[in-house]
Amino acid sequence: MRNKKSTKNKVEVTERINNLINIKRKMRDRHILFTDDDLESIDTQTHTQWSVLQNDQFAPSYVSISHVPSGLYEMKWNSQLQSWVIAKQALNIDELYELPSPEIESILSDIKIFWRKRDTYKEYNFVHKRGILLYGDPGCGKSGIIQLCVKNLIEEENGIVINIKEDDDFKAFVEFVPTIRTIEPERPLIVILEDIDSLAGEDRYSTTKLLNILDGVKQIENVVYIATTNYPEKLQERITNRPSRFDRRYEVQMPSRAIRESYIKNKLSDDDLKNINLEEWLDSSEDMSLSHLKELVISVIVMGKDFKESLATLNALSDKPKIKGGKKKTEIGFGNSNN
């Protein structure tokens, strides 16, 4: 029994040593990318090398890598380093699939061609960047399209994605993106600007910074900007009507019958499909967003509720909620003060 345990320990030690040797080899070769498995073998608590400072000074440093793993990242402030860092976010792209939508096909095709044309852009002295603006009603599938673009970049281009969700994220990106490009100048990059109207609406100081990133003095190369908005009318024309900023604009409409059918068939098992009236689902979900359709699937299939009851509940969501009965006098609350 001891021999088996000892053998197992030796195997584990050998594997760990081999991993460390492999990591050291990759550190010497800037063209080899690290995987998540590689990073799990790195001791992030121990200094392993020296950082070269000014005036012939040297500081202890942790393990460094030349390329971060492909994936989705957000900007974070590291108080210990007193610097912005990029933090990898959890991302499940295994279940994503391409819906039969002309917009999706056009967007993915445009981006795939763009990544292949880097040398051609350089030949004609153009900055290798692309801007895509998606607009449409809430829940119509804009986020799903972005996820498909992210999946394509990670799986086929080994790129990284920066997610900008609010004004502070955008300010961090403006400050830190030169550092990203100094370390990895050729790395394919997608920058997500969801709800761009909240970042660069009318009379917003951030609009100027955004324009500088898109086609001004701070623009970078090898990047695709993908922005979304539910309210395109709030955006200034200098953002929406300038090809050098957003080269393609796509109105993402409510899902067609074919898209809804594809969504339902993808989400439901074969047994589920046998137990429902698919035609009734498709007829009843006319003008529904993908978000509403998702909730219908959850309510009926996952929660086991009645189809017609679930449908009525979803349709009622379009009614603005109101407090019934009007105002009533009460002895509790600030409004009761006689002072």
Provide the pLDDT for residue 30. Answer: 45
Who has greater pLDDT, 319 or 101?
A: 101
Considering only CA atoms, which of 243, 41, 233, 7 is closest in space to residue 129? 243
* For helices 290-297 and 257-267, angle between their N-to-C axes, nearest 10 degrees: 30
What digits encode the pLDDT tens for the residues 232-276? Answer: 877 766 666 666 778 888 888 888 898 889 889 988 999 999 999
Q: Which residue has the tokens 């993808």?
A: 266
What's the pLDDT score for residue 334?
Answer: 46
Instruction: Identify the pLDDT of residue 68.
Output: 87
CA distances from 113 to 82, 117, 130, 157, 219 (A): 39, 6, 11, 12, 21
Q: What confidence tier does 160 reach under pLDDT thresholds 50, 70, 90? A: very high
Each residue of 55-80: pLDDT tens digit?
A: 878 888 877 788 888 999 998 888 88
Q: What is the pLDDT, as a whole number, of residue 238?
A: 63
pLDDT of res. 52: 82
**Average pLDDT of the chain, as a whole number:** 79
Inform me whether the pLDDT recorded for 337 exceeds 90: no
More confident residue, 213 or 77: 77
pLDDT in tens, 144-159: 888 888 888 888 899 9
User: In Å, how far are 122, 259, 334 from 214, measured between CA atoms?
Assistant: 18, 33, 50
With beta carbons less than 8 A apart as the criterion, state whether 74 and 87 touch. yes
pLDDT per position as a tens digit, 17-58? 566 555 555 544 544 455 555 556 566 677 778 888 888 788
Structural contact between residues 226 and 67, judged by C-beta atoms closer than 8 angstroms:
no
Question: Within a 10 A sphere around the Cβ of 171, how many other Cβ atoms?
Answer: 16
At residue 2, what is the residue type? R
The C-alpha atoms of residue 276 and residue 268 are separated, in whole angstroms, by 10
